[in-house]
């Protein structure tokens, strides 16, 4: 596994697309020299100064030296993500599945009739789909679903399968309990997709660890529902456990980490892991006890991943391998939910 960077160099403070090339004469010499040096990594379908470079490339460290030197002079947009090598997929014990296509739930005030989402934890803002599930497929996704085994993900990485892929997996011996039908609002009788369903097979608490360094993250747990949500670490003197004071409203924002608008994503390789207890309790489709964002991620057995990969080979481009690791005892920090 390695880091892949998507890079774009812009004039400082420019937001209008028409002004993206308005470098000063001195700045132009710098970006032209950079372009000549990094021409091998130039991405031509993007703006003139867009590049893609990985941590396996010889110029990776050179780029970061350039970034450090000129980050105040230019807006250097950097987005990093982890890419997995073929050997990583064969070492994995489970996967978080991600398809290339997208699908969406109905939303907006005029779609209330088709709102299939229920709030599971008001404290943490977590939700879960309820039957009947209604989704909408973009035109290109709908066309592919009608033609062949395929899949799509919501923006929150929930996986929906085409009817053909669903039938194939059923024929391979995957039980129907691991799927839920999803419908279009104009046809509530025939499923247009099937959701991978792991809510009936939740993994043991603390068996799934999304981060290599648990001491840098904490979870907040809703005592009524048992759901947990990953959040940034808080300083030791944080008053998050104290009752909120109206006079100090907004003070908690001081504890959030600084976020650079033009620098985001993953810049260090880390592994999502399951311990022995989690692996032993894997079913075909599972939900983690822990939440990332507003939902508990869906994990699937490696055998199911490879069955899907036979029909949809490009799932390896975005899916996340989950590896075995015995997690440190007491590695998680837990805080009480604010009232």
Measured CA to CA, the distance from residue 141 to residue 147 in angstroms comes to: 10
Say which range, 129-143, 199-213, 267-281, has the weakest mean pLDDT.
199-213
Q: What is the pLDDT of residues 24-57, one digit of tens each?
A: 999 999 999 999 999 999 997 767 789 999 999 9
- Give the tokens for residue 62: 């050179």
Residue 176 in contact with residue 182, Cβ under 8 Å? no
Roughly what angle, to the nearest 10 degrees, separates helices 302-311 and 163-171? 130
- Give the tokens for residue 260: 């650079």
- Residue with token string 């088709």: 114
- In this prediction, residue 331 carries a pLDDT of 59
Measured CA to CA, the distance from residue 54 to residue 315 in angstroms comes to: 20
Q: What is the pLDDT of residues 65-98, one digit of tens each?
A: 999 999 999 999 999 999 999 999 999 999 999 9
Closest CA to 82 of 7, 31, 6, 196: 6
CB < 8 Å & 24+ apart, contacts of 40-44: 43/6
Measured CA to CA, the distance from residue 169 to residue 176 in angstroms comes to: 9
Measured CA to CA, the distance from residue 262 to residue 274 in angstroms comes to: 33
Q: What is the pLDDT of residues 110-155, one digit of tens each?
A: 677 788 888 888 888 888 888 999 999 999 999 999 999 999 999 8
In terms of pLDDT, which residue wins out, 53 or 226?
53
């Amino acid at each position: 596994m390695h880091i892949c960077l998507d890079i774009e160099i812009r004039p400082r403070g420019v937001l209008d697309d028409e002004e993206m090339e308005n470098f000063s004469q001195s700045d132009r010499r710098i970006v032209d020299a950079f372009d000549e040096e990094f021409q091998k990594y130039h991405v031509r379908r993007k703006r003139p100064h867009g590049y893609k470079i990985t941590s396996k490339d010889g110029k990776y460290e050179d780029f970061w030296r350039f970034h450090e030197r000129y980050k105040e002079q230019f807006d250097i947009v950097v987005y990093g993500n982890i890419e997995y090598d073929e050997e990583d997929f064969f070492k994995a014990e489970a996967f978080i599945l991600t398809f290339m296509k997208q699908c969406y739930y109905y939303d907006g005030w005029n779609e209330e009739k088709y709102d299939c989402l229920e709030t599971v934890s008001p404290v943490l803002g977590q939700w879960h789909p309820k039957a009947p599930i209604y989704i909408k497929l973009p035109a290109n996704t709908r066309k592919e679903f009608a033609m062949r085994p395929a899949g799509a993900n919501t923006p929150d990485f929930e996986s929906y399968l085409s009817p053909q892929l669903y039938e194939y997996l059923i024929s391979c011996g995957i039980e129907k309990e691991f799927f839920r039908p999803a419908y279009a609002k104009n046809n509530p009788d025939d499923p247009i997709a099937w959701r991978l369903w792991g809510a009936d097979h939740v993994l043991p608490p603390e068996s799934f660890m999304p981060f290599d360094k648990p001491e840098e993250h904490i979870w907040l747990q809703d005592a009524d529902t048992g759901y947990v949500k990953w959040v940034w670490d808080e300083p030791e003197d944080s008053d998050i456990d104290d009752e909120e004071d109206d006079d100090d409203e907004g003070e908690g924002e001081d504890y959030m980490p600084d976020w650079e608008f033009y620098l985001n994503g993953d810049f260090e390789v880390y592994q999502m892991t399951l311990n022995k207890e989690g692996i032993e309790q894997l079913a075909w489709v599972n939900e983690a006890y822990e939440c990332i964002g507003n939902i508990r991620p869906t994990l699937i057995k490696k055998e199911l991943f490879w069955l899907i990969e036979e029909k949809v080979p490009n799932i390896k481009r975005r899916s996340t391998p989950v590896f075995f690791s015995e997690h440190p005892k007491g590695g998680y920090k837990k805080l009480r939910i604010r009232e």
